[in-house]
Amino acid sequence: MLRAALSLLALPLAGAAEEPTQKPESPGEPPPGLELFRWQWHEVEAPYLVALWILVASLAKIVFHLSRKVTSLVPESCLLILLGLVLGGIVLAVAKKAEYQLEPGTFFLFLLPPIVLDSGYFMPSRLFFDNLGAILTYAVVGTLWNAFTTGWLTGLPAVWEPHLGGGPRGRASCL
């Protein structure tokens, strides 16, 4: 019974193992025969790598969750970021050059939200509401500081070089 099943499984492969009767017409053309699978990395690269990142992060999250000693000192989201830095450094050291570059859109749309949502979900609400005043102060003051500093720095070249500040465009020509 087992021998009959194996012979049925080997039957489609028998035609693929034979020598092709014709030579391919051009050097880039594959030989005729039965093609079982084709390796086209460029078609599956992005979804495969995102799935691999999610798998590694999920496994690390499970390990970090089981290790109460480490997570009592350092939050899990910080450990995940450190793990990403270590794995990225290892890949970069092995490959000697960056073969895959993470695009900002991929990071901000797929990788950052789970980290932020995880940190926010598992944050004790008591600590959050006790420090709400400090959080809002830092948010408002930090936003204003960044806005005024950016505006001042973009206008600074017009002060150093007055000819940049004149004209119909004004300070916009500094940008």
pLDDT digit string, tens, across residues 10-35: 444 444 444 445 555 566 666 677 77
* Residue 123: both structure tokens together: 């944050």
Tokens 């940190």 appear where? Answer: 119
CA nearest neighbour of 16 among 1, 2, 30:
30
Residue 96 predicted with pLDDT over 90? no
* Residue 88: both structure tokens together: 């990225």
Give me the phi and psi of 21, to 5 degrees please: -80, -25
In the chain, % helix, strand, coil (3-state, to 5) comes to 75, 0, 25
Query: Helices 112-121 & 76-95, crossing angle to 10 degrees?
Result: 160
Residue 48 predicted with pLDDT over 50? yes
The pLDDT assigned to 14 comes to: 44
Of residues 29 and 147, more confidently modeled: 147
Tokens 């900002």 appear where? Answer: 104
Residue 173 predicted with pLDDT over 50? yes
CB 173 within 8 A of CB 163: no
Residue type at position 106: T
Residue 93 predicted with pLDDT over 90? no
